[in-house]
Chain A
Amino acid sequence: MPFWWWLQNRAYFNFIVRELTCVFVGVFAVLTLFQIRALADGPAAYAEFVSRLKTPGFILFNTVGLAALLFHGVTWFKAVPTTMIIRFGETRVPDQVIAGLHYVGWMAVSAVIAWILLLR
Chain B
Amino acid sequence: MTRGLTPFLWFLFGAGGMVSALLFPVHIFLIGLAFPLGWFDAPDYESLRSLVIHPITRLYLFVFIFFPLFHWAHRFRYTIYDLLQVKHGAQQPIALLCYGTALLGSVLAAYTLLTIA
Query: What residues make up the interface of A, taking CB atoms closer than 8 Å to B?
Result: 1, 3, 6, 16, 19-20, 22-23, 25-26, 28-30, 32-33, 35-37, 39-40, 43, 46-47, 50, 53-54, 58-59, 62-63, 65-66, 69-70, 72-73, 76-77, 83, 105-106, 109-110, 113-114, 116-118, 120
List 25 A-B residue pairs with CB atoms under 8 Å apart, sorted by A's residue number.
A22-B71, A23-B76, A25-B71, A26-B76, A28-B68, A29-B65, A29-B68, A30-B69, A36-B52, A36-B113, A37-B112, A39-B48, A40-B116, A40-B117, A50-B36, A53-B31, A66-B25, A70-B25, A76-B18, A83-B14, A109-B23, A113-B26, A113-B27, A116-B51, A120-B44
Residues of A contacting B: mostly: helix
Q: Is the CB of A66 within 8 A of B28?
A: yes
A47 to B26 Cα, complex, angstroms:
22
Q: Nearest Cβ in chain A — how far from B8, in angstroms?
A: 16
Which of A28, A63, A106 is the most central at the interface, judged by chain B CB atoms within 10 Å of its CB? A28
Contact among B36, B37, B64, B79 with A16 in the assembled complex (CB-CB below 8 Å): B79
Q: Is the CB of A25 within 8 A of B24?
A: yes
A99 to B91 Cα, complex, angstroms:
34
Number of A-B contacts (CB under 8 A): 150
Q: Is the CB of A53 within 8 A of B32?
A: yes
Residues of B contacting A: mostly: helix
A90 to B100 Cα, complex, angstroms:
44
A58 to B36 Cα, complex, angstroms:
10
Q: Is the CB of B108 within 8 A of A47?
A: no
Chain A residues closer than 8 Å to B26, beta-carbon distance: 109-110, 113-114
Q: Is the CB of B25 within 8 A of A76?
A: no
Chain A residues closer than 8 Å to B17, beta-carbon distance: 72, 76
With A32-B64, A47-B45, A66-B25 given, name 12 new contacts (CB 8 A): A25-B16, A25-B20, A26-B72, A29-B64, A29-B68, A40-B116, A53-B36, A54-B37, A59-B33, A62-B36, A73-B22, A113-B30
4 closest residue pairs by CB, A with B:
A26-B72, A120-B43, A62-B32, A22-B75
| A19 and B75 contact, Cβ closer than 8 Å, known pairs A28-B24, A36-B61, A113-B23 | yes
